[in-house]
Structures are given as structure tokens and as C-alpha cells.
């Protein structure tokens, strides 16, 4: 049989938007890693399958928003202490209002915040607080290849790049969040070594072992098999690489796990909430070394809340109105832990 011709990404549905994977595909192809090079050959068809109006009925609206973004040199870009792109003085009031309306077409904005040419995108999550809790406790990201799984709009990806990462790849199957990321990258060089792919962990190369640091934040409790997820994370790390895992936990001893029969905080897809001691034992069972909890704290309604940029229900709506220490279903209110571990 003759091999099928390579997929032409340039002729796919989104080719004329700010979503541009040319530099990423070239970097993967020339990485010197055979697994990544093979993945680069497969990715164009996968990307086009995911960014497709047959899957996402509102995709034309989201792509129109990207096409309507103005072409402006930002002058100022801050990524180390916050994500701020563009000098406010470059836009007058009318153009700023027009840009804000364009960005609002990608509502809801959940992870952030962002500042873009004087527009403050006040997202549902104060993701910067989570970053502040972990950045001083993890291995420095300078010069590292970093993977962020379930990255949403890519807020933490930008902070990883600002912390000195050599290349950052985020993945999230929700294409609207991917569009939010490229709405910001639109104003920056296309070959900047940061991208968000519209895929889940299942589309990563098996046993790639190509990343120095892998982040999985807010994902584990959505997985039916936590052990499979931990093994998938390990497979993406080089030997000696670091996992940064953030997830919902419960107060409890070794062996204690909450498995909600119904919803948890109105979420239908929550499967396992272990105690910290249990989670640490799971990681060790999966072969990780140097496992430690670097942070544990409850989620407050100041950290997760409805805003102008996310007008749907948020944490205050998910809790028992008469007892904020419990969810609406009577479970313990959200408690989150950050665990680091080293791949063998």
C-alpha cells in the first residue's frame, strides 16, 4: 500500500486565524527525540480533527473573534510577576472597548487574570494565587521543557515561560480555552516557545519521557482511574524530571478516600478525593520518588468566584448556604493540595 499523504494543516478550517503551530511542529521534528518527531507527524491531523465545527458548534464565532483582533505591537510584556501584554497607551478608549467586546466573545474566562492593553480580564479563578503557593517550592524551571496538562486558557503556561522555561506545551481538549490562549499570543511572535494544543492526555506520545517538568493541576479527581493518570504523567517525564500535581483532597489518614456517589460541589465528574497521605502512597506505588506535599489549603470564595468575565455559577453557589465548610451535597468543602515527586 502507498502511504497516505501528509495532512496539510495550512488548508484546515482554522489556518487563517492566530492559531499557528508551525514553529511548534518544527521544534518537535528537530528535537532529536524520535518519539517527539513521530508525534509531530501525527499532530496536524489530530489538531484539525479537534478544531472542527462538527465538534464545536460555536467554533466559527470563536475563530471570528481571533480574526477580529487588531494587529498591534505590544511594546511591554510582563510574564514573571503577572501576565500583562501591551502598553495601555497604545489604545484609545473606543479601541479598547472594541477589543474588550471581541475578547468577551470567548466568555467564560476561567483561569487568569490577564491584563491586555489596559483591559483587566478578571477571571473566575485567581490562578496567580496557586502559582504563588508553588513556584518557590518546585525545581527551578529555567531551561526546562515543560508540559502543562489540562491547562485551560494557558495562564500557568505563561507563568512557566516567565519563570525561564525553554519551551512550554499546554494541552486542553476544550477548544474555547485554546482560542483564549491564542487571543493573547496573537500579539506576540508566532515562534515564541509556548503553545496550547487542543488535545487530552490520551493524544500525547506513549512513553515520551521528553519533559523535565510536568504539571497536572485540577485534573486527577476528574479521572476514573487515578493510578492510570499517575502512570501517564510518569511516562511523559524524563528520568529525574519533576511532577507537580495539584488536586482536591480530604482531611484524613493513610488509606482514606472520598468517592462521591453523586455530584461533588455540583460537579458530576468527580471520582476520587484521597487524603494527602493516601495520595503520597499512590505516587510511591507508581514508582515516583521524593514525594512531598508542598502546600495544602481550602479554596475560598475570593479565589474562585463569578466575575464580569465569568458570569455563571461559581464556588459560593456550590457550597451549603448555611455551612460553608460543606458542599451543596454535604461533602467536605474543597481542600486542595500540591504534591511534587521525582520520576525514577
DSSP sequence for 300-341: PTTTB--BTTB-S--HHHHEETTEEEEETTSSBPPEEEEEEE
Q: Is the pLDDT of residue 1 over 80?
A: no
Specify the DSSP element, H or E, that contains 216. strand 211-217
Query: What's the pLDDT at 137?
Result: 98
**Beta partners for 171?**
149, 197
Residues 268, 274, 280, 286, CA torsion sign? negative
| pLDDT bucket at 337, cuts 50 / 70 / 90 | very high
> Highest-confidence range of 5-19, 43-57, 218-232, by mean pLDDT?
218-232
Angle at 229 between CA 223 and CA 230, to 5 degrees: 135
Q: What local confidence, expressed as pLDDT, does residue 5 receive?
A: 41
Give percent of the chain above pLDDT 90. Answer: 92
pLDDT in tens, 117-171: 999 999 999 999 999 999 999 999 999 999 999 999 999 999 999 999 999 999 9
Q: Are 223 and 271 in contact (CB under 8 A)?
A: yes
Alpha-carbon span 107 to 302, nearest angstrom: 20
- The answer to whether the beta carbons of residues 137 and 158 sit under 8 Å apart is no
Listed residue (221, 226, 230, 244) closest to 295, CA to CA: 244
| Nearest residue to 341 via CA among 296, 297, 285 | 285
Residue recorded with cell 492593553:
117
103-113 pLDDT, tens digit per residue, is 999 999 999 99
Q: What is the pLDDT of residues 175-221, one digit of tens each?
A: 999 999 999 999 999 999 999 999 999 999 988 899 999 999 999 99
Confidence (pLDDT) at 274: 98
Write down the pTM of the prediction: 0.95
pLDDT given for residue 15 in this prediction: 55
Q: Binning pLDDT at 50, 70 and 90, where does residue 4 land?
A: very low
- Give the residue among 72, 168, 154 at the shortest CA–CA distance from 121: 154
List, for residues 258-313, the tens digit of each pLDDT value.
999 999 999 999 999 999 999 999 999 999 999 999 999 999 999 999 999 999 99
CB 258 within 8 A of CB 284: no
Sequence ranges of the domains in the chain:
9-67, 129-342
Average pLDDT over residues 8-29: 75
pLDDT of 11 reads: 54
205, 186, 56, 29: CA torsion to nearest 10: -20
Grid cell in block for residue 157:
503556561
pLDDT at residue number 230: 98
C-alpha cell at 306: 463569578
In this predicted structure, the answer to whether residue 2 has a pLDDT above a threshold of 50 is no
H-only helix segments in 68-173:
93-104, 127-134, 155-162
C-alpha 250/C-alpha 331 separation (Å) is 10
Task: Return d(Cα 141, Cα 234) in angstroms, integer.
Answer: 18
- Partnered with residue 196 across adjacent β-strands are 170
**pLDDT of res. 16:** 53
The fourth-level CATH superfamily of domain 129-342 is: Vaccinia Virus protein VP39 (3.40.50.150)
Compute the chain's Rg from CA coordinates: 20
Question: Which segments of 212-311 does DSSP mark as H helices, in order?
Answer: 226-235, 276-285
Amino acid at each position: 500500500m502507498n502511504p497516505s499523504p501528509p495532512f496539510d494543516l495550512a488548508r484546515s478550517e482554522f489556518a487563517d486565524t492566530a492559531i499557528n503551530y508551525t514553529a511548534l511542529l518544527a521544534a518537535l521534528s528537530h528535537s532529536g527525540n524520535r518519539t517527539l518527531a513521530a508525534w509531530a507527524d501525527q499532530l496536524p491531523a489530530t489538531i484539525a480533527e479537534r478544531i472542527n465545527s462538527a465538534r464545536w458548534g460555536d467554533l466559527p464565532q470563536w475563530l471570528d473573534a481571533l480574526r477580529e483582533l487588531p494587529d498591534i505591537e505590544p511594546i511591554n510584556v510582563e510574564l514573571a510577576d503577572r501576565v500583562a501584554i501591551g502598553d495601555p497607551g497604545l489604545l484609545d478608549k473606543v479601541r479598547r472597548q472594541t477589543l474588550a467586546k471581541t475578547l468577551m466573545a470567548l466568555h467564560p474566562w476561567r483561569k487568569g487574570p490577564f491584563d491586555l492593553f489596559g483591559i483587566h480580564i478578571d477571571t473566575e479563578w485567581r490562578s496567580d494565587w496557586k502559582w504563588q503557593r508553588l513556584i518557590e517550592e518546585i525545581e527551578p524551571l529555567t531551561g526546562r521543557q515543560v508540559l502543562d496538562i489540562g491547562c485551560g486558557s494557558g495562564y500557568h503556561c505563561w507563568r512557566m515561560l516567565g519563570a525561564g522555561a525553554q519551551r512550554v506545551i499546554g494541552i486542553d481538549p476544550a477548544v474555547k480555552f485554546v482560542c483564549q490562549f491564542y487571543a493573547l499570543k496573537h500579539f506576540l511572535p508566532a515562534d515564541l516557545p509556548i503553545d496550547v494544543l487542543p488535545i487530552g492526555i490520551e493524544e500525547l506520545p506513549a512513553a515520551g519521557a521528553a519533559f523535565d517538568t510536568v504539571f497536572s493541576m485540577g485534573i486527577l479527581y476528574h479521572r476514573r482511574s487515578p493510578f492510570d493518570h499517575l502512570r501517564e504523567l510518569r511516562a511523559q517525564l524524563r528520568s529525574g524530571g519533576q511532577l507537580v500535581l495539584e488536586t482536591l483532597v480530604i482531611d484524613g489518614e493513610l488509606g482514606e478516600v472520598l468517592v462521591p456517589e453523586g455530584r461533588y460541589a455540583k460537579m458530576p465528574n468527580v471520582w476520587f478525593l484521597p487524603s494527602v497521605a493516601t495520595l503520597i502512597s499512590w505516587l510511591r506505588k507508581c514508582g515516583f520518588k521524593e514525594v512531598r506535599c508542598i502546600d495544602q489549603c481550602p479554596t475560598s470564595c475570593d479565589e474562585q468566584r463569578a466575575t464580569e468575565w465569568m458570569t455563571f455559577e461559581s464556588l459560593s453557589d456550590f457550597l451549603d448556604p448555611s455551612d460553608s465548610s460543606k458542599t451543596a451535597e454535604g461533602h467536605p468543602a474543597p481542600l486542595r493540595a500540591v504534591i511534587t515527586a521525582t520520576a525514577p
